[in-house]
A and B are shown apart, each in its own frame.
Chain A
């Protein structure tokens, strides 16, 4: 398979690459072809050599390559909830969460609402805020601060609730610009 054949017969190139990565539909048929085609054998060996050299160049992956800081924040809060003293810490943390939400809602939700009250995505945001309210209500009202309940409650608020609001705000801004 020389340069000319590569352009005349792309099917062989395709099969060779698929075979190289174990994705060929009929590897035995290609192996039969390989037995009679020195050029394909050479190309295959060359490709294997390149991949071997490439894979030998290791890349260390840092611990920082993980979920971003928002998740870490909630993980920390989760550990805070689990402290042996339990209740008093929970009350303090719950107050902090409530305060943060009030600030978030005041600054990022109601201010846009004043400026963009009629954009279509605003209704979606109100619905998502109701979900957060419900999640928080059930978390605080359950009076059950076991790991599973706190995990589930915080995950729901942090990952789903606040992320939804963020996304809603993006959509509101987009809608507002195109309304």
Chain B
């Protein structure tokens, strides 16, 4: 157990990329440490992206499984969180596309249900903050930069590497995202 603690301390000092490389070389504990490190920011980013808790949990699990399965595709010269986020984002977008089609159908059903029982229909929708809603309304490129910086905790330089956009473009996207969110918090409730 003492050895395990020593090993754990060493891993705590390793950055995400080093941990993932250690996992890829066969160290399962490195993956546990890494997932523990990224689970909160990753879940929050996914949840902010899709706005549904159950869907966010499914996407989270799917993302980690894909990271494990496709670990050989990771390029260690790029930030691990950027790769992680790109997988999560694609899954989230898939979900939103599917959800978009379902919403059209649900809206018709909800209109019928609301006419019969308006309170139960309202209770079925999870309440989320106005800013969370506004983030989902941002253009995809701005939302991506905002969530990578705010939730995944990536530096702007790393976001530029991960997205392939110039640093100045990344910073402009963040600036415009913040300007749009400002309009939301200034709107009367």
Contact = CB atoms under 8 A, between A and B. Distances in A.
Contacts, number: 115
B178 A47 contact: yes
B136 to A, nearest CB: 13
A64 B39 CA distance: 10
B185 A65 contact: no
Interface string A61-75: 110111111110000
Contact of B53 (A16, A18, A21, A62): A62
A163 B71 contact: yes
Nearest to B68: A163
B48 A66 contact: no
A53 B29 CA distance: 37
Interface stretch (B13-21, B104-112, B114-122, B148-156): B148-156
Contacts of B149: 21
Given A16-B175, A17-B171, A18-B156, A59 B39 contact: no
Nearest to B4: A148
Interface string B24-51: 0011110110011001101110011000
A130 interface: no
A147 B3 CA distance: 11
Interface in A6-33: 6, 10-11, 13-14, 16-18, 21, 23
B47 A167 contact: no
Contacts of B135: 54
B65 A68 contact: yes
A59 B187 CA distance: 23
B64 to A, nearest CB: 5
B90 interface: no
Nearest to A15: B171
A151 B32 CA distance: 13
A66 B39 contact: yes
B148 to A, nearest CB: 12
Interface residues of B, number: 51
A57 interface: yes
Interface size class of A (residues with CB under 8 A): 35 or more
A8 B26 CA distance: 52
Given A14-B172, A62-B53, A68 B185 contact: no
Given A10-B172, A14-B172, A49 B185 contact: yes
A54 B43 contact: no
Contacts of A6: 175
Contact of B28 (A49, A50, A66, A155): A155
A23 B128 CA distance: 31
Given A59-B48, A167-B71, A160 B28 contact: yes
Contact of B69 (A18, A49, A163): A163
21 contacts: A17-B174, A46-B182, A47-B175, A49-B185, A53-B131, A55-B150, A59-B44, A61-B39, A61-B40, A64-B57, A65-B43, A67-B32, A67-B35, A68-B61, A70-B65, A148-B4, A156-B28, A159-B26, A160-B28, A166-B68, A167-B69
Given A13-B172, A51-B178, A151-B4, 7 more contacts: A6-B175, A17-B174, A23-B157, A47-B175, A50-B181, A65-B40, A159-B27
Interface of A: 6, 10-11, 13-14, 16-18, 21, 23, 46-47, 49-51, 53-55, 57, 59, 61-62, 64-71, 147-148, 151, 155-156, 158-160, 163, 166-167, 170
